[in-house]
Structures are given as C-alpha cells and as structure tokens.
C-alpha cells in the first residue's frame, strides 16, 4: 500500500515575522525556510507505518516553487521513498492546492494521504478536509494516534473538549496534530542518500486544474501593539493593582 | 440572500462560540438563519431561536446527527446552501473539521478564522500566528467563513425566530465516531471564561499543577496551559492555549511559568489584561504583560491564592 504525504515550505517557526512597509504582505526575503512542522509530523508517521511493514511506499508531494525541492529532499531524508513537486510560483488558496493534490492522487493512487493539520504561515487548516471532500473520502483531522489494520483505520483526534476516536476505512485522508509523534532528525548518511532518491517535477499548469484566483489580499498590517506594562515588586502590590487599578478582581 | 450559521452544540446546549459567530454573521447581511443538526436537539433549537439577530432556525433532528461526522454534516449544509450568500460557523475544532468540505461542495474558497468583517466580502484574519493581520476579499459568489470567537462579542439574547424542521439527507457513512474522552471540569469553559489561569513547563508535574487549580478556583477561572505543559502530560490537550490550541481573550489572563513563545502568545495576546509570573526577567511573556512579577512561582502562586482569600 502506498501513502502520499503532502509537505509545504514555510517560514521557519522561529523567525520573527515583519510586515512589509507597503503592507502588501510579510517580509520573507532571506528568511529561514523549513518544512511546515505539522507536515514533518505527517512524514514521520508515514515512515513509521512503513517501518512497521503496514505500508510499502511513501511518496512526498509539495505544491510550490522550485525551492520547495529542498523541503522534499528533507522528507526523503526522513525516509520517504520518492518525491513529486507540482511547480507553481503562485500563492494558491487551499482549494486550489487541494485540487492539485487530487490530481496527484489520481496519478499515484495512494490508499492513504497524510498532511499536517495546518500550515503555520496561513493558519487556514483547510487543505486536508478539502482534499478528502474532492475525493469523496473519509477524513480524520488533528490526529494524535493512528491505528491501521488492513483497510480499517482508527484515529484518535484532538478536539476542543479532549479526545475523540473515529473509525474510517481506506482510502482516507488524515491530518497530523502535534502530539502524533516526535519527528526524527535526518542523519547525515540519510541526507546523502536522499539526494539520490527520485524527485519528479510536474508543472502545475499541465494538470488541467481550475486554478483561478479565489481570494484577493488587500493589505497586511501589524496588529496594534499592547501598551507597555509594569513590573510589580511583590504579590501584595499585584493584588492591589488588580483590585484598585485594573478592577478585574 | 441570507446568511446561514451552523450551530455547534452537544444536543443539550448551544456552544458559546456559536453566539460569537452569529455576531459576525449579522455584520455580513440582514437575514441570519441558524442550522441546528442533531438528535433530540429541540432544546438547542429553542435556545437558538432566542439569539438576537437570528431570523429563522432550521432544525434537522435525525439519528445520523447523534454524533455528527464532518462528511455527513457537510452534505447536509451543502443541500441547504442554495439561496444563501454566506455559510458561517465558529472556528472551533468542530467547525474547522467540516467547513472546508462545504466549500468544496460549493466549489468556493474558504476564509478561515476571521476576526473582523469590513464588508460582506471583505474580512480580517490573523496569519503567521497572529504576527500579522491580513485583509482579504473573497472573490467567489458564496462566502464560506469560519469565525474566531475572540474577534466578536457574543450575540445577545432577545430573538424570537420561528423554528422550521427539515428532513435529513442520507448519510454517507464515510467515518464513524467510536467514542469521546472529554475532560470534565466544574470550572468555566476555557474559551468563554472571564478569567484564565495558565501554567507552563515550569510547573514540573501534574501534582504541582494543583497550585494553578487552587488559584483558578479562587478566581472562578478556567485553567489553561502551554504546549510544553500538555506535551509533558501535566494536563489534558483540552487546556492548550496557542496557535494550535485554543484562542482566548478573557478579561484577565494569568500566565504562570510560561516563557511567551509566539505560538503561545497567538492564543492569548488579545486578553484585556495580562499578568505574567516568571522567574526570568528576560522572558518574552513580560513584553505583552500589563503586570509582571519576577518571582519563583512556587512561592508567588500560593501567596497570591492566600492573598485573595
Ligand atoms: C508548530 C508549533 C505549534 C506550537 N503551538 C503551540 C501552542 O498552541 N501553544 C503553546 O503554548 N505552544 C506552542 N508551541 C510551542 C512553543 O513554541 C513553546 O515551545 C511553548 O509554548 C513553551 O512552553 P512553556 O512556556 O511552558 O515552556 P518554556 O519555554 O520552557 O518556559 C518555561 C518558563 O518558565 C519559567 N520558569 C521556570 N521555573 C520557574 C519558576 N520556578 N518560577 C517561575 N518561572 C519559572 C522559565 O523562566 C521559562 O520562561 C508550538 C510550537 C510549534 C513548533
């Protein structure tokens, strides 16, 4: 059985983001770029399924610019067998990304697609659910545990009140939450090996998918800063301030 | 063309986040309807009919929705969608799960987690863990929107909307809920509480976390936690505040032994008043705190609890 894992190249989670002076977007020129952390967890999970002999092949896919090849090499170094880049320079809305992924699913015929539950740049949290709907497959989002037995999958999901367990049958789409696993570090030999693994590049335009723009960004602004606070010397003065100055208790 | 809000509930009570979503919906257009899909959910429909600004309640009471799967809920919403200009729900785990499937059924984009409505097609939403706010225009005819609760006040009571019962389309059975393990607590709900007391990695154990509970009890507060505290198993994932946990904006947020990583700030920096207790004066949490106390939490927190006595 084949698993497809979708990975996105995003600004590293440690980078402090600044808005461009003309408010057209955020300044990412020269910023450190990395694999979206949730996608890394998805890759790790796929590799673990392969190591447990539940899966025969792990294919990583990314939708993005040529630079996304780095991120795909990263997935290969973690243990994916091959990679596919659907190349586009456009900043696509989740619906269009999901449509391109659907086209890749049709080429690759995986039984399971794993993705991160959200990308830390747009924080939209849509692509997995949209892909599942486009394919008319079942879905389990925010997975913190996956149990695969033949064509049956049991997924523990993180929900607002705690945890929920859902049953699905393959094919299915699952999105990874933070506590699904802790991704391994790629070792130097594996990074070297990854350079030789196959990485196919497909032009997004060649997939005959409707990629018309859906969302227009009008401006991007800094949130209004909080006014400077004060340090209080001890608990007594804290309570005093909360009672008499802020009047919140 | 009306606005359809999909209610979140547990067949007994309407979740408060739905009230915030209604407030956002009212800003998008005049005719706001609420869909309540559940099993034996008449009480919820009755509550929904009394929400201010709601002009009609659509109630679908069927076995399929006893524990709703995102696949079935999306099919239902898509079947009702024709005639609505906007499909709206709260950006909770529940809303986030099904809404993108509705967008696909309508072949339109979704705008997630809005915190402002500037025009019926123009919304403000945080990106990069709240480091920036994007103003975006949805170009599709139908707008599918999820609403971040902290961006909007809860809709007031005072409505008296008629309740219309609809038949349920067939379920698709693509996924099935086997069970839920919910964290039960007598405290206020985290996302709706007036006061939140949150603990971080510095607490060290679930045993030690009890000093957070004691302070929370004094203040009638909800308990929150950083990701590090949840990962370490001190408390349930239901308590996580941040980019990938709950977004809260209480009147008072007390961060105890939390460093203030941007992913945590993303979930609480819109709180009205922030108090930070941390022994490191350089901790970034102090940059957003209105009142900061540089102290060892194991001394300061019990003292604070006693002082409030
Ligand atoms: C993709 C991604 C998503 C994330 N999502 C979230 C999220 O939703 N929510 C979230 O919280 N984090 C999230 N994180 C993690 C985040 O980056 C931080 O690692 C986390 O918030 C740190 O938790 P902490 O502040 O409890 O721990 P630490 O950063 O370890 O801070 C502990 C603090 O306690 C102080 N301290 C220690 N001992 C004492 C004492 N005795 N008395 C007083 N103070 C003391 C220290 O000075 C320190 O400031 C995410 C990370 C990633 C990569």
Q: Percentage of chain A with pLDDT > 70? A: 100
Evaluate whether A12 touches A31 at the Cβ level (below 8 Å): yes
Indicate whether residue A120 lines ligand 1 (CB < 6 A). Answer: yes
Residue B136: its chain A contacts at CB < 8 A?
215-218
Q: Do B191 and B17 meet the contact criterion of CB atoms below 8 Å apart?
A: yes
Burial label for A248, CB within 10 Å (0-12, 13-18, 19+), is middle
Averaged in consecutive runs of 10 residues, what is the pLDDT profile of chain A (249 residues)? Answer: 98 96 95 98 98 98 98 98 98 98 98 98 98 98 97 97 96 98 98 98 97 98 92 98 96
The residues, any chain, with a CB within 8 Å of residue B299's CB and separated by 6 or more, are none
What does B34-96 look like in DSSP terms, one character per residue? Answer: EEEEESS-HHHHHHHHTBTTEEEEEEEE-GGGTT--HHHHHHHHHHH-TTEEEEEEE-SHHHH
Angstrom distance (rounded) from CA B262 to CA B269: 9
Report the 10 Å Cβ neighbour count for A197: 16
Q: Is A130 on the interface with B (CB under 8 A)?
A: yes
Pocket probe for ligand 1: among A32, A178, A182, the residue whose CB has the most ligand atoms within 8 Å is A178
Averaged confidence pLDDT in chain A: 97
Q: Where are the alpha helices (DSSP H) in A139-205?
A: 188-196
* Cα Rg, chain A, nearest whole Å: 21
Q: What is the pLDDT of residue B260?
A: 98
Q: CB A235 to CB B252 under 8 A?
A: no
Helix (H, G, I), strand (E, B) or coil at A159: strand
pLDDT below 70 — which residues of chain B? Answer: none
Q: Are B110 and A215 in contact (CB under 8 A)?
A: no
Return the SS3 of A142. Answer: strand
Residue pair B199/B234 in contact (Cβ under 8 Å)? The answer is: yes
CB A80 within 8 A of CB A23: no
The model's pLDDT over B4-16, given as tens digits with 9 standing for 90+, comes to 999 999 999 999 9
Using only C-alpha atoms, what is the Rg of chain B? 20
Do the Cβ atoms of B180 and A230 come within 8 Å? no
Q: What is the rounded CA–CA span in Å between residue A232 and residue A89?
A: 51
Residue B299 Cβ inside 6 Å of ligand 1? The answer reads: no
User: Other C-beta atoms within 10 Å of B206: how many?
Assistant: 13
Supply the pLDDT for residue A228: 87
**B69 closest CA partner among A186, A157, A116, A207:** A157
Residues 6+ apart with CB under 8 A from A122: A94, B127
Residue of B107, B178, B231 with shortest CB distance to A179:
B231
Rounded CA gap, B121 and A37, in Å? 31
How crowded is residue B308: how many other Cβ atoms within 10 Å of its Cβ?
14
Supply the residue whose CA is at minimum distance from atom 49 of ligand 1: B259
Tokens representing residue B136 in the block: 């975006």
Which pTM value belongs to this model? 0.97
Q: Is B244 in the pocket of ligand 1 (CB under 6 A)?
A: yes
CA angle (A162, A163, A166) in 5-degree steps: 150
Is domain A2-224 given the CATH code 3.40.50.620 in the classification?
yes
- ipTM value, please give it: 0.97
pLDDT score for B184? 85
Q: What is the DSSP letter of A14?
A: T
Q: Which atom of ligand 1 is nearest to the CA of B297?
A: 42
Sheet containing B252-256, strands listed edge to edge, beginning at the edge strand earlier in sequence: A230-231, B291-294, B273-278, B252-256, B195-199, B222-225
Question: Which are the contacts of A106, defined by CB distance < 8 A and separation ≥ 6?
Answer: none
Residues 6+ apart with CB under 8 A from A52: none
Size of interface A-B (CB pairs under 8 A): 244
Domain spans in chain A, listed from the N-terminal domain onward: 2-224
B83: left (phi over 0), alpha (psi -120 to 50) or beta: left
Q: Is A198 exposed, middle or buried (0-12, 13-18, 19+ CB in 10 A)?
A: exposed
């Amino acid at each position: 059985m084949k698993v497809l894992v979708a990975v996105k190249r995003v600004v590293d989670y440690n980078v402090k983001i600044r808005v461009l002076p003309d408010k057209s977007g955020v300044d990412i020129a020269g910023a450190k770029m990395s694999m979206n952390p949730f996608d890394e967890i998805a890759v790790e999970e796929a590799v673990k399924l392969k190591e447990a002999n539940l899966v025969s092949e792990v294919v990583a896919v990314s939708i993005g610019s040529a630079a996304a090849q780095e991120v795909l090499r990263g997935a290969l170094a973690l243990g994916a067998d091959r990679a596919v880049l659907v190349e586009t320079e456009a900043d696509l809305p989740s619906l269009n990304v999901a449509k391109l992924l659907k086209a890749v699913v049709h080429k690759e015929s995986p039984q399971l697609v794993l993705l991160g539950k959200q990308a830390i740049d747009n924080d939209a949290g849509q692509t997995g659910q949209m892909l599942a709907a486009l394919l008319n497959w079942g879905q389990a989002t925010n997975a913190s545990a996956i149990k695969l037995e033949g064509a049956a999958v049991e997924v523990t999901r993180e929900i607002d009140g705690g945890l929920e367990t859902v049953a699905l049958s393959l094919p299915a789409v699952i999105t990874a939450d933070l506590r699904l696993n802790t991704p391994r570090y790629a070792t130097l030999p594996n990074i070297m090996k990854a350079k030789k693994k196959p990485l196919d590049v497909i032009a997004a335009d060649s997939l005959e998918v409707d990629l018309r723009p859906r969302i227009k960004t009008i401006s991007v602004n800094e949130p209004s800063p909080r006014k400077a606070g004060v340090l209080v010397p001890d608990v007594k003065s804290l309570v005093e301030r909360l009672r008499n100055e802020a009047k919140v208790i | 063309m009306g606005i359809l809000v999909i209610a979140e509930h547990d067949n007994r009570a309407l979740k408060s986040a739905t009230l915030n979503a209604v407030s956002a919906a009212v800003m998008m257009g005049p005719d706001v309807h609420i869909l309540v899909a559940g099993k034996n959910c008449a009480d919820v429909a009755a509550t929904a009919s009394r929400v201010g600004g709601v002009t009609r309640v659509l109630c679908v009471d069927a076995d399929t929705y006893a524990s709703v799967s995102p696949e079935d809920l999306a099919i239902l919403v898509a079947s009702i969608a024709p005639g609505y200009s906007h499909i709206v729900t709260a950006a909770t785990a529940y809303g986030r799960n099904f809404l993108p499937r509705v967008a696909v059924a309508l072949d339109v984009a979704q705008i997630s987690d809005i915190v402002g409505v500037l025009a019926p097609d123009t919304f403000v939403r945080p990106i990069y863990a709240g480091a920036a706010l994007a103003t975006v225009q949805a170009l599709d005819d139908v707008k599918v929107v999820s609403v971040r609760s902290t961006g909007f006040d809860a809709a007031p009571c005072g409505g008296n909307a008629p309740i219309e019962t609809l038949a349920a389309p067939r379920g698709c059975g693509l996924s099935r809920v086997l069970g839920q393990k919910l964290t039960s607590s007598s405290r206020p709900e985290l996302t709706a509480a007036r006061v939140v007391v949150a603990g971080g990695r510095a607490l060290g154990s679930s045993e030690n976390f009890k000093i957070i509970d004691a302070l929370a009890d004094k203040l009638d507060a909800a308990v929150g936690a950083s990701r590090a505290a949840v990962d370490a198993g001190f408390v349930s994932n239901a308590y996580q505040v941040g980019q990938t946990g709950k977004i809260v904006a209480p009147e008072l947020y007390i961060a105890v032994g939390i460093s203030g990583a941007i992913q945590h700030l993303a979930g609480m920096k819109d709180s009205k008043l922030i108090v930070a207790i941390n022994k490191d004066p350089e901790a970034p949490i102090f940059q957003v705190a209105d009142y900061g106390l540089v102290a060892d939490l194991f001394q300061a927190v019990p003292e604070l609890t006693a002082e409030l006595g």
